[in-house]
Amino acid sequence: MSAAQQPDLAKSKIRVSTLERQFDEMYQPQPFLRRATSSMVQARYPVFAVFILVLIALCALFATQLAPKDPNRVEIFDTLKPPLSYNRDGELEYVLGTDSTGRDVFSRVIYGARISFFVGLAAVGLGGGTGTILGLTAGYLGGRVDDVIMRLADIQLAYPFILFAIMMLTILGEGVLNLVLVLGIGQWVTYARIARAETLVQREREYVESVRALGATEWRIMFRTILPNILTPLIVIASFNVAGVILSEASLSFLGLGVPESVPTWGAMLANSRNQLLSGSWWLAVFPGVAIMLTVVSLNVLGDWMRDFLDPRLRGSGGGL
């Protein structure tokens, strides 16, 4: 308004500053979260995946509040009730039926989410952390250290994981921590190989050179300078990896390894359903399996989206490494 009365020079100054602001607005990257959400909505499937995962995570967190019954409570008068069964008072009592000892399948499925989520996240955290540090060290230091770490990785890759897990758990005995430990050891190689490959590229870059010239210690270069720059592919792998670990956990529980009998897990529920299958108790085998599948498929869809969003170079690598 007052701009009209001002001299030409000042006028043009205002114009330039407006342009600058517009330019800034155009080229300033949108906040990360907003970009992520819009990309997610655009891809559609990941939205469903996040919804399902949040639901299952809530089940895991609030199992005690959400489950209608104690998952281990045996009701000898209510064995093998089909889904949507009413009790003697005519109330809907067993939404997903009961098993051969009368335990509520719905409550057990809800509690099962706990083990799957905890083991999945903890094992990936353990394996991913160890693998990243070892890979980073191997790639950065090279030489003898690199040789030793990578030959170890070769040996482990040549040793089928399921056999390693069966043996270790037979020896160590059951327990959630043993399960996490064994599953974690099974994952480090993938991270180590990727971290090493990425470190080999990054350590030659100029920014690493300049940090070194400033007198940073090797330790600082490795963990403060290089590590943040190699994290993206590792995060992408981790999301697929959680899915893979949940499947492995289910297989091991199915074999009766890992978690004590008193802890409800989806895999162990499926193992128990085997004997009731021929008599037609389909609900025992269907629901825990659906729970596993929904969780794993959601994680895989999310992983696929994350890969495309964070690191399009990895596109087509097939996932589920």
Q: Which residues bind other proteins (CB under 8 A)?
A: 151-152, 154-155, 158-164, 166-173, 243, 247, 250-251, 254-257, 267, 270, 273-274, 277-278, 280, 282, 285-286, 288-289, 292-293, 296-297, 300-301, 304, 316-320
Which residues are 86's β-sheet partners?
92
Longest Cα–Cα distance in the chain: 94
Which of 11, 313 has the CB closer to other proteins? 313
Q: Enter the tokens of residue 262.
A: 């008193």
What's the distance, CA 294 to chain centroid? 14
CB of 277 to other proteins, least distance (A): 6
Counting every residue, how long is the chain?
321
Q: Enter the tokens of residue 77.
A: 């008068």
CB of 153 to other proteins, least distance (A): 11
Residues 318 and 321: their CA atoms lie apart, in Å, by: 8
Q: Enter the tokens of residue 6.
A: 């001002």
Which of 19, 277 has the CB closer to other proteins? 277
Q: For residues 224 and 166, is the Cβ–Cβ distance under 8 A?
A: no
Residues 104 and 60: their CA atoms lie apart, in Å, by: 17
Residue partners of 95: CB distance under 8 A and separation at least 6 = 68, 83, 84, 106
Fill in the amino acid letter for 217.
Answer: T
CB of 140 to other proteins, least distance (A): 23
Which of 222, 259 has the CB closer to other proteins? 259
Which of 19, 155 has the CB closer to other proteins? 155
Which of 71, 319 has the CB closer to other proteins? 319
Burial of 313 (0-12, 13-18, 19+ CB in 10 A): exposed
Which of 124, 257 has the CB closer to other proteins? 257
Which of 68, 173 has the CB closer to other proteins? 173
Which of 221, 286 has the CB closer to other proteins? 286
Residue 60 to residues 55, 57, 115, 212, 252: CA-CA distances in angstroms? 9, 5, 8, 46, 20
H helix runs in the chain, sequence order = 8-27, 32-43, 45-61, 63-66, 105-141, 143-157, 161-172, 176-202, 206-213, 218-220, 227-254, 266-276, 282-310
CB of 131 to other proteins, least distance (A): 18
CB of 316 to other proteins, least distance (A): 4
CB of 57 to other proteins, least distance (A): 17
CB of 56 to other proteins, least distance (A): 14
CB of 62 to other proteins, least distance (A): 25
